[in-house]
Amino acid sequence: MDISTGSYLSAKNITKYFGKSLVLDDVSMDIKSGDVVSIIGPSGAGKSTFLRCMNLLETPTSGEIEIGDFRITIGLGNSEPSTKELAILRRNVGMVFQSFNLFPHLTVLENVSLGQRKVLGRSKEEARAKSLQILERVGLSEKVDVYPGRCSGGQQQRVAIARSLAMDPKVMLFDEPTSALDPEVGAEILAVMRELANDGMTMMVVTHEMSFAREVGDAVYVMVDGRIVEHGEPHKIMSEPTHERTQKFLSAVLGR
Count the neighbouring beta carbons within 10 Å of the beta carbon of residue 56. Answer: 17
* DSSP E strands, 7-118: 9-18, 21-31, 36-40, 62-67, 70-74, 93-96
What is the 3-state composition of the chain as percent helix, strand, coil, each rounded to the nearest 5?
Answer: 40, 25, 35
Helix or strand (DSSP H, E) at 41: none
The distance of closest approach from Cβ of residue 11 to another protein in the complex, given in angstroms and rounded to an integer, is 17
Q: Which is nearer to another protein, 192 or 237 (CB)?
A: 192
Any contact of residue 70 with another protein (CB under 8 A)? no
Query: Pattern 106-125, binding to another protein, x per CB under 8 A?
Result: --------xx--xx------
Stretch that binds another protein, among 98-106, 126-134, 232-240, 244-252 (CB under 8 A): 98-106
Report the phi/psi class of residue 44: left, alpha or beta, with left for phi > 0 and alpha for psi in -120 to 50: left
Any contact of residue 97 with another protein (CB under 8 A)? yes
User: What residues from 121 to 160 belong to the interface with another protein (CB under 8 A)?
Assistant: 147-149, 160
DSSP code of residue 141: G
Q: Distance (Å, rounded) from C-alpha 177 to C-alpha 97? A: 6
User: What residues from 35 to 64 belong to the interface with another protein (CB under 8 A)?
Assistant: 55, 57
Any contact of residue 103 with another protein (CB under 8 A)? yes
The distance of closest approach from Cβ of residue 37 to another protein in the complex, given in angstroms and rounded to an integer, is 18
Q: Are the C-beta atoms of 199 and 229 separated by less than 8 Å?
A: no
* Residue numbers at the binding site for another protein (CB under 8 A): 55, 57, 83, 86-87, 90-91, 94-95, 97, 99-105, 114-115, 118-119, 147-149, 160, 163-164, 167
